[in-house]
Chain A
Amino acid sequence: MASANAKASPLTGGKLKLMICDDSNIIRRKIERELQIERLQVIATAANGKLAVEAFRKDPADVVTMDITMPEMDGIECVENLVKIKPDVLILIISALSDKATAIEALKKGANGFLCKPFTDRQLTEALEELLRGAGNDD
């Protein structure tokens, strides 16, 4: 089911499922509120990596925004788990740029892009659009 969904995803225009994973309630709400891409539909939000993996197992999203520093399970480990469950999931790391090496670590585990906190609604939209476009181009 998941792969069929993802196949339809990048450029074909079907609705895509988005999961937001961040330990900050403010950031989660901000992403949800400022999301201006009609094709993306928020299906889950999670306050840490562990909850995100659980939610993802039940209903795998097509696109995930992921914080790095979180309690219980951090973003790096979470990315690794999500990619194992669904290899073609698109993951955008959203984190403060204190340590580039950590961000690169998350990308090595399978994330697709990076957006630096703090971000504007426009930067968020552009990053997500680029994420979807990049997936389309790679095909």
Chain B
Amino acid sequence: MGILDLGRYKGIVFAITGFLVFIAIILAVNHGKAGGFSDNVAGVRFLENQAVLPHAVYDASVQLAQRLQNGEKVDDALESLRKAATTFDRSLNSLANGGMITDSSGDIIVLPSMTEPEAVAQLKNGSKLWDGYKAKLDPILRFSGSPYVTAQPAPAPAPAPAPAANGKNAAPAVAAPPPAAPTIQLSPRGRRLQTALTDLTQYGNTVHGQLSKVLTDLSIQVEANSRKQTDTLRYIQVGGMAAALLLLGAIFLFFTRNLRKEEASANRQRKETQDILRTVNEGLFLLDKDLKLGSERSMALNNIFRREEFLDLTFDKLLKDIVPEKTLRTAMDYVALLWGERVNEKLVKTINPLNEVEVHFDNPAGGFDTHFLEFDFNRVKSEGSLSHLLVTVNDVTKRVMLSRELQESQEKAQAQLDLLLRILHVEPDSLTSFLTDADVSLKMVNSILKEPAREESAFRAKIDGIYRQVHAVKGEAAALGLKTVEQRAHAFEESLNDLKGRQSLSGSDFLPLVVKLDDLFNHLAQVREMLSRLVDLHHAIATRRTAGSEVGAEKVDQWLAGQDQTQITKAIIPPPDLGETTGAVGGLERTLEDLAARVASSQSKQVNLRCAGLEGVPESYRRAVKDITIQLVRNAVVHGIEEPGERAKANKAAAGALAVEFTPRGTDGYELIVQDDGRGLQLERIKEVAVERGLITPAQAALLDPRQTMALIFRPGFSTADRVTTDAGRGAGMDLVRILVAELGGRVGLASAGGKFSKFKIWLPATQSAVAA
């Protein structure tokens, strides 16, 4: 981390650094070489200066010889010679000693070229010449004091013969002495000095030129060397520049290529991201802390939210028009929680108020479309802190609708199953009666609905009429335990209550009732359909039973009759307690008890049913006995037993007594007695009904005795099913009883005393098995 973390810029930083280092090296080399160049210039100047020194030495020696010849003072000339000789000696030594020289400013400079073999040879040669020179100089330089004697005039010094022999280099040292100054003569030392000088000048005449040449040559050599270095420098500079350019080009190429590669990669990534965002089915976007939507988002959002523009949109604005105010508030609270530090993201998903939220979009038709959206929120962390919330949105309308449909159909199936089970529990005749009555009631409702009405009072009368009918259906359905029918009737009633409560009514207010009525009709049709299938099944099995498969058919018969429910329900409900009586007889007794209780309750009556001997009913009579007893028990409760008030007046117990007895009479067969302590048969009423039904004329009725009158109830058509009544006031099924008994070859007897009792006595012949036994 930090300043050294160059990331993707590492390459370019290294490349530029390398380039600069390279340039620096070139410059340093340049600088070094340039320094050598100035040293060489100084060296050349130095050598040129030194090249005159041998002349200076020679000149000084000639001057000194001349002075001595002329008898002049020699001190300064001697000093000049000494100085020149010393300077040259030092310079030569320095040059020979590794090329060290001292330039004009006093700095010591090393001339590397002096170490080259050629220079060394020359210097050696120079040194050798100089050594010879020095040997001759030495006695002269060591001279001090005066070379003259001042006491007597000295003879003119002998002219030196040597110079003439020295040829062209002969110096003018032996110029003719002046004629005067006889008083100054050379001392012996002076003469020796003169001799040495003569020797020196002679030698120097030959050598000083050579020495000068040595130095001049060295100077030329240094100059040449310097030129060579200059050339080298130029080559280095040109080479350096070329290399720098190449390096720069390489860097440029490298980075251009890399940039292009990176750009291509970035473009590819961008395209991939765009492809994903364009293709993904979920709505995806980021929310920042101000709850503003990020610029990158999936295209699916357009479809989900039915909008194209999301720029500068905030989350609340996105939701404002499509969810209720309360949901929006809760949602904003929830999102704010996720921005906080405390809440654990995973542990609050279940309370996400936008988990499956119902939204409404306006549609062009002026209404709105309902959809279900599922929002999911995930924290996005960047460098350890929360930077965004990633929001995923799905349109889950189909899923929600499907699950609702599934739930509805499950509920419906459950309701049908309940209905079926209920039907199996209901005594078939009761159910048939109920269906018939309900059908009549609903038809009546339909006709009431169709009746024309204009005035408020007429509308109210319609409502009351419909209410009575629907209420009757509801009550009967409840008595039979047909919950689904009862619920629908109840809903109908609620609608009627709603209408009742209104201030004013109009014809259109009744329209919703038509829907409810239709619903009830359809439902009852379903019940009828179910019942009819069960009856069909029963008939089919009964037909086969006669062909032999008695036991299985009998069982089906039993459960169709509601006697043995275990057969059909065992797969659906837990098996009943084994201790409970589940036999067919127990089943019939229970059916009769239920029936008596239910009918009594619907009639606001009380009844005590006592059954005896039903367990002795032979198998072949069971069905008939069941049908007969059901009919007689219902009739007894409906027509025979009085209401408690009426019974109290007649000094009877509040609960009517009803007995069903089945007694075997040996070879005489069986006796079935159904007796109640009710009001007995109402002979006059029977006559009225018979006349009403067109069974007899009023004149005939007047002639009938009580016995004949009682017989009327067994006439077909006396009991009719399509009476617009409930249980009360209905006399149904006695002809059925007569037919059943007749089919079995039995007889029916009837006894009744007005206000006291009714007694049906049925004789059935002995069965074949009973006879065999």
* Chain A residues with a Cβ under 8 A of chain B: 92, 97, 100-101, 103-105, 107-108, 110-116, 127, 130-131, 134-135, 138
Contacts and interface: CB of A to CB of B under 8 A. Distances in A.
B347 A104 contact: no
Contacts of B644: none
Given A104-B337, A111-B342, A114-B348, 11 more contacts: A100-B334, A100-B351, A101-B333, A107-B343, A110-B342, A112-B342, A130-B344, A130-B346, A130-B347, A131-B347, A134-B344
B307 interface: no
B341 interface: yes
Interface string B308-352: 000000000000000000100110011011000111111110111
Given A108-B333, A131-B344, A101 B350 contact: no
Contact of B330 (A101, A111, A130, A138): A101
A134 B346 contact: yes
Contacts of B336: 108
Contacts of A104: 330, 333-334, 337, 351, 353
Contact of A97 (B329, B342, B345, B350): B350
Contacts of B348: 107, 113-114
A113 B347 contact: yes
B347 A114 contact: yes
Contacts of A111: 342-343
A103 B330 CA distance: 10
B357 to A, nearest CB: 11
Nearest first, the 8 A-B pairs at minimum CB distance are A113-B347, A134-B344, A113-B344, A103-B351, A101-B330, A100-B351, A100-B353, A104-B333
Given A101-B326, A104-B353, A134 B333 contact: no
Contacts of A110: 342
Contacts of B326: 101
Contacts of A105: 333
16 contacts: A100-B351, A101-B329, A104-B353, A107-B337, A107-B351, A108-B333, A110-B342, A112-B344, A112-B347, A115-B347, A115-B350, A130-B344, A130-B347, A131-B347, A134-B346, A135-B344
Nearest to B354: A100
Interface of B: 326, 329-330, 333-334, 336-337, 341-348, 350-353
B579 to A, nearest CB: 33
B341 A138 contact: yes
B351 A92 contact: no
A79 B333 CA distance: 17
Interface residue SS majority, chain B = helix
A120 to B, nearest CB: 14
Nearest to B352: A100
A130 B347 CA distance: 7
B350 A114 contact: yes
A97 B353 CA distance: 11
A130 B344 CA distance: 8
A113 B330 contact: no
Contacts of B353: 100-101, 104
Nearest to A87: B342
A105 B343 CA distance: 12
Given A101-B326, A104-B334, A108-B337, A114 B342 contact: no
Contacts of B342: 107, 110-112
A114 B345 CA distance: 10
A108 B333 CA distance: 8
A136 to B, nearest CB: 11
Contacts of B350: 97, 114-116
A92 B333 contact: no
Most central of B346, B350, B351 by chain A CB within 10 Å: B351
A127 B350 CA distance: 12
A119 B167 CA distance: 137
Nearest to A137: B344
B383 to A, nearest CB: 15
A133 B348 CA distance: 14
Nearest to B346: A130
Contacts of A131: 344, 347
Contacts of A92: 347
B338 to A, nearest CB: 10
A134 B347 contact: yes
A55 to B, nearest CB: 22
Contacts of A135: 344
Most central of A97, A100, A105, A112 by chain B CB within 10 Å: A100
B330 A100 contact: yes
A113 B349 CA distance: 9
A118 to B, nearest CB: 13
A34 B353 CA distance: 29
Contacts of A107: 337, 342-343, 348, 351
Contacts of A112: 342-344, 347
Nearest to A91: B342
Given A101-B326, A104-B353, A112-B342, A127 B333 contact: no
Contacts of A127: 347
Contacts of B330: 100-101, 104
B155 to A, nearest CB: 124
Contacts of B343: 107, 111-113
A131 B346 CA distance: 9
A12 B547 CA distance: 84
A37 to B, nearest CB: 15
A49 to B, nearest CB: 19
Nearest to A115: B347
A65 B351 CA distance: 17
A115 B347 CA distance: 7
A80 to B, nearest CB: 13
Contacts of A113: 343-344, 346-348
A29 B353 CA distance: 30
Nearest to B338: A107
Nearest to A104: B333
Nearest to B344: A134
A14 B337 CA distance: 29
A38 B145 CA distance: 121
B34 to A, nearest CB: 65
A101 B344 CA distance: 17
B378 to A, nearest CB: 14
A93 to B, nearest CB: 9
A104 B343 CA distance: 10
Contacts of A97: 350-351
Contacts of B337: 104, 107-108
A135 to B, nearest CB: 8
Nearest to A128: B347
Nearest to B341: A138
B483 to A, nearest CB: 28
B327 to A, nearest CB: 9
A113 B343 CA distance: 6
A138 B347 CA distance: 14
Most central of A104, A108, A115 by chain B CB within 10 Å: A104
Nearest to B353: A100
A64 B773 CA distance: 81
Contacts of A115: 347, 350
Nearest to B332: A104
A110 B350 CA distance: 17
Nearest to B334: A104
A116 B350 CA distance: 8
A97 B342 CA distance: 21
A79 B344 CA distance: 16
Contacts of B351: 97, 100, 103-104, 107, 114
